[in-house]
Amino acid sequence: MGHRERLLAGARVCLYERGYTRTTARDIVAASDTNLASIGYHFGSKEALLTAALVQAFEEWGVEIDRVLRDGTQPDLMDRLESMWTGLVESFGSHRPLWVAGIEAFALAEHLPVLREQLAESYTRARPALAAFVLQSGGENVTEETRKAIGSFLLALMIGLTVQRLLDPEAAPSGKELAAALRLIIGAVHDTAGD
């Protein structure tokens, strides 16, 4: 394995353990068993290396989501949603650093255009996938727009669930609670709607 790959791997480790902004060039060198100069040689700068590593991490993040989504095969939509959210929560437990890095990426995107585009593009791809998860059966006749809207809705829930979980695991909702909340809101909508 060349130093280029070692650096990327080391940077990923640092990303998970220390976070983007706290990682120094020397940290990466230590984690990858290489040397300072190789960063400049292979990536031009520390920043470029770290960004490349973050993009890699983010792809892994997408894989993790796909995995969670694939588990939901129940015919009942509510069951499917609940199992999806439960799966996410489980993933937070087993892949915490990955999700933390994902959240840090949100903040970094404000100052790193490359990363921002990566995230935006990633979410643009995620929305239809999430919509398909809902419309699994017989949702062929919905417009592209509504498909996007549903995807955005689920994406928002997912992001919000992630943030709450990582900030305060005690208080954050479980998948079951989220499903219960949705059920209750559905009921409340019907009660106040003029029918």
The reply to whether 41 sits near DNA by the rule CB under 7 A is yes
Q: Which is nearer to DNA, 35 or 124 (CB)?
A: 35
Angstrom distance (rounded) from CA 72 to CA 188: 26
Contact between 9 and 2 (Cβ < 8 Å)? no
Angstrom distance (rounded) from CA 16 to CA 4: 19
The reply to whether 34 sits near DNA by the rule CB under 7 A is yes
Tell me which of 9, 16, 19, 47 binds DNA, using CB under 7 A. Answer: 47
Q: Which 8-state DSSP code applies to residue 174?
A: P
The reply to whether 144 sits near a copy of itself by the rule CB under 8 A is no
Angstrom distance (rounded) from CA 122 to CA 128: 11
Q: Which among a copy of itself, DNA, none contacts residue 16 (Cβ within 5 to 8 A by kind)?
A: none
The residue whose two tokens read 């949705």 is 182
Tell me which of 9, 25, 114, 182 binds DNA, using CB under 7 A. Answer: 25
Angstrom distance (rounded) from CA 189 to CA 195: 10
Q: Please, what is the minimum distance in Å from the beta carbon of residue 50 to a copy of itself?
A: 13
Contact between 136 and 150 (Cβ < 8 Å)? no
Tell me which of 24, 79, 107, 176 binds DNA, using CB under 7 A. Answer: 24
The reply to whether 182 sits near a copy of itself by the rule CB under 8 A is yes
The reply to whether 17 sits near DNA by the rule CB under 7 A is no
Q: Which among a copy of itself, DNA, none contacts residue 53 (Cβ within 5 to 8 A by kind)?
A: none
